[in-house]
Amino acid sequence: MNQQKTYHNESIPIIVSNSYIKKYYLDNRLEILPKEIKNKLKEVFVTFTENVGGILVVIFDNKNYNLLLNIEKNDDDIGFDEINANYKLSKLENENIELFEQIAKFCKFKLNGLV
């Protein structure tokens, strides 16, 4: 997994968890995932943004077939700790590597060509 701040034409946001407006988004093409996996994704990403703050965007890189996790913040969020957020994001990636690899494989076969 790689962190990336800009989206390319080959990439599509598939999950967004926003602590500012308390919203979670899952791309509707992922709705066919088993309920347990969808619940796990929501739990992982909502818990992360509740603890760290900011906006967590998960994109599928349709060129390299992997997931890219990016943490963003609002410009006026002076309390956001970017160093801590990036550390915790790296930890999140390592703790959930198998789950993220499975989602990347799913996206490779189900979303390829739909971007």
Digit-coded pLDDT (tens) for 31-89:
999 999 999 999 999 999 999 999 999 999 888 889 999 999 999 999 999 999 999 99
- Give domain limits for the chain: 11-110
3-state SS class at 44 = helix
pLDDT band at 110; cut points 50, 70, 90: confident
Q: Give tens-digit pLDDT for 95-108.
A: 999 999 999 999 98
* Residues in the chain, overall count: 115
Six-digit token string for 5: 């701040």
- Report the alpha-carbon distance of residue 60 to residue 106 in Å, rounded: 10
The SS3 assignment for 3 reads: coil
Helix pair angle (97-110, 35-52), 10° resolution:
120
Task: Please give the model's pTM, rounded to 2 decimal places.
Answer: 0.85
